[in-house]
Amino acid sequence: MERWHWVALIVAAYLGVTLWIGLRAGRRSSRTVTGFVAGDRDFGLLVMYFITGATVFSAFAFLGGPGWAYSRGAAVFYILAYGVLGIAPWYFIGPRVARIGRRLGYVTQAQFLTGRFPSRFLSLLVASLSVIALLPYITLQIRGAGIVIEVVTEGHVPLWAGAALAYGIVLTYVLVSGVTGVGWTNTFQGIFMLVIAWSLGLYLPHALHGGIGPMFEGILLERPELLELPGLTGSGAPWSWGGYSSAILVSAIGLTLWPHLFMKAFTARDDRILRRTVVLFPTFQLFLVPVMLIGFAGVLYLPGLEQPDFILPQLILDVQLPLLVVGLFCAGALSASMSTGDAVLHATASVAVEDGVKPFLPMDDQLQRRLIRIGVLLAGIVAYGFAVTEGMSLVLLLLTSYGVIVQLAPTVLAALFWRRATTAGALAGLVAGGLATLWFFFNPALRPWDLHEGLLGLAVHLPVLLAVSLLTAAQPRGHVDRFVAV
Amino acid sequence: MRLSRVRLAVAAVFVLFALAVTWPGALLVAEPGPLVFGLPRALAWYILWILIGLAALLVLDHFESRAGDD
């Protein structure tokens, strides 16, 4: 047998185990929409910890993280900075949202928002925003899986086939088991990812440079600019402090507002579990450290790589690691991709049906479940289509959507804490903030201090939300009490 | 210690966190060398703050669950 046969065998075994776990998990949940979308609100600490952690750490963390460290140096540290900052407010906000969801029967973010601010337009707006933001996200995960399989099988399994195989499995367990399948596979994949990242992150600097210290001393000597904050931009010029700092703030504010994470508040068994998930999240964040070490290990060993995102698979192949390690690495990277892809696929379809269709077309539970399944399939096929065709500027789309997702922050906070907020104010703020974000995205030269467009969008959003709310009639007290006084 | 004070203190830690990892706090560790425990100064600084954040959340959770049990 050739080398790549062995690698393929290990990967196949890993995929088999994942499928088995995903299918088995579904036996636990009820055949209702709450069962399919929110796991009957019965997730315990272990699953909540990994569903949050593994969902955040995507193919981007596994491939993009080392790529950034390799090409942009200290700029990559921003990923370390925002996670803990972003999750901390969730300690208070998450349980509140969960309580309201339990009481009023919500399973999505838009249901929660339109509960406080009744408007079908708002529901449709949040649903379309989510789908537009999430589709490129899934596409990147599928592409990541395809790339990994193609590289480690030395091109014998092309990108389209590898991506189809990995995501065929994801589709199967998401369709059969819903969010319960996502939860239990993420637990398995999360553990896998942690072990692989730490072992490679410690092993590669040792194998290539004789240790982490000597590795950084070498970089300090030959490429000191890489270790100086705030690092470099994609083109190799020094990054600005304004750009770096506002990227951290926007990512932190946006972290829990991504629909696939926000919705997980509705899956926790009780408040305590949700809180513990937040408390433990920083331990998952530390997992990014070894991932960055891998990228830095490549700086002096493999200089001048044109596609920095390939640094990790390239190093793995170049160093001639034992076959078992190559196979396990590949499975680890697939874990990262699939554990994000499954949650996002599931969220996209749930949101599209629950918030985009149901408010306009009343339907029973059974039909909803069927429609969500069709949605999962459709989203998977569309994203796969994008993933295997070259030339789509996905990263661009993803970056834009990040700024737009952040605009949900004032709306969520107003829904929970500000009695005087009104539907008109929420809508006007969201539209104004979203448009301002897009405008600054396409006119980067006009951004003061190189600030992130999402932050500038917020600067427009907040005054509009305040002014329009105060100018329109307040909501009835009894209605507001169901959201604010919990 | 009263719960409201603990909450305030934890909130203050996270405001400091935000200032420490962005401009202007991060200027303290902007220079590339010398290394700290074999790591670039900025990396060591960020790991330190993640650990501080973890500790703050643990303390908060301790007091919150004690208050919840009463």
pLDDT digits (tens, 9 = 90+) for A164-197: 999 998 888 888 888 888 888 888 888 888 888 8
Provide the token pair at A466.
């305040």
Q: How confident is the model at residue A399 (pLDDT cuts 50, 70, 90)?
A: low
The full length of chain B comes to: 70
Q: Is the dihedral of CA A174, A176, A179, A185 positive or negative?
A: negative
Asked if the Cβ–Cβ distance from B58 to A279 is below 8 Å, we say yes
The full length of chain A comes to: 486
Range of the domain at B60: 1-9+35-70
Rounded to an integer, the average pLDDT of A7-12 is 87
Structurally, chain B folds into a number of domains equal to: 1
Asked if the Cβ–Cβ distance from B64 to A275 is below 8 Å, we say yes
For residues A347 and A320, the answer to whether their CB atoms sit within 8 Å is no
Q: How confident is the model at residue A397 (pLDDT cuts 50, 70, 90)?
A: low
Residue A302: phi, psi to the nearest 5?
-130, 65
Residue A304, C-beta contacts closer than 8 angstroms, at least 6 positions apart: none
- Check residue B36 and report its DSSP letter: B
Rounded to an integer, the average pLDDT of A381-404 is 74
For residues A145 and A338, the answer to whether their CB atoms sit within 8 Å is yes
Q: Which of B57, B62, B69 to mutate to test the interface with A (most CBs of A within 10 A)?
A: B57
* Pick from A390, A392, A462, A389: nearest CA to A421: A462
Q: With 90 as the cut, is the pLDDT of residue B10 above it?
A: yes
Of the candidate CATH numbers 1.20.1250.20, 3.40.50.970, 2.40.110.10, 1.20.1730.10, the domain formed by A3-391 belongs to 1.20.1730.10
Q: With 90 as the cut, is the pLDDT of residue A50 above it?
A: no
* Pick from A166, A169, A174: nearest CA to A39: A174
Q: Comparing A133-142, A186-195, A320-329, which segment has the lowest mean pLDDT?
A: A320-329
Residue A404: the pLDDT is: 81
ipTM of this model?
A: 0.93
Q: Which of B23, B36, B65, B66 to mutate to test the interface with A (most CBs of A within 10 A)?
A: B23
Domain boundaries defined on chain A: 3-391, 407-486
* Pick from A440, A486, A436, A482: nearest CA to A461: A436
Q: With 70 as the cut, is the pLDDT of residue A429 above it?
A: yes
User: Could you give the dihedral angle defined by the CA atoms of residues A186, A77, A317 and B38, in that order, rounded to the nearest 10 degrees?
Assistant: -120
Q: With 90 as the cut, is the pLDDT of residue A428 above it?
A: yes
Residue B24 within a domain: no
Q: How confident is the model at residue B1 (pLDDT cuts 50, 70, 90)?
A: low
User: pLDDT exceeding 70 applies to what percent of chain A?
Assistant: 97
* Pick from A79, A141, A161, A177: nearest CA to A339: A141
Residue B20 within a domain: no
Residue A173: the pLDDT is: 86
Q: How confident is the model at residue A319 (pLDDT cuts 50, 70, 90)?
A: confident
Rounded to an integer, the average pLDDT of A417-439 is 95
Residue in chain A lying closest to B38 (CA): A213
Rounded to an integer, the average pLDDT of A216-238 is 90
Residue A128: the pLDDT is: 87
Residue A132: the pLDDT is: 82
CA A409 to chain centre: 17
Q: With 90 as the cut, is the pLDDT of residue B19 above it?
A: yes
Asked if the Cβ–Cβ distance from B40 to A74 is below 8 Å, we say yes
Alpha helices in A304-364 (DSSP H): 311-318, 323-351
Distance CA A189, CA A334 (A): 9
Rounded to an integer, the average pLDDT of A427-434 is 95
- Check residue A352 and report its DSSP letter: I
Coil, helix or strand at residue A232? strand
For residues A420 and A474, the answer to whether their CB atoms sit within 8 Å is yes
Q: With 60 as the cut, is the pLDDT of residue A285 above it?
A: yes
Q: With 80 as the cut, is the pLDDT of residue A227 above it?
A: yes
Rounded to an integer, the average pLDDT of A125-152 is 85
pLDDT averaged over chain A? 87
Residue B22 within a domain: no
Work out the minimum CA distance from A227 to partner chain B, whole angstroms: 5
Q: How confident is the model at residue A469 (pLDDT cuts 50, 70, 90)?
A: very high
**Longest pairwise C-alpha distance within chain B:** 50
* Pick from A97, A267, A279, A79: nearest CA to A186: A267
Provide the token pair at A369.
């479940």
Q: With 60 as the cut, is the pLDDT of residue B70 above it?
A: no
Phi/psi-derived region of residue A40, left when phi > 0, alpha when psi is between -120 and 50, beta in every other case: left
Residue A409: the pLDDT is: 95
Distance CA A151, CA A160 (A): 12
Q: Which residues of B touch A226 (CB under 8 A)?
A: 32
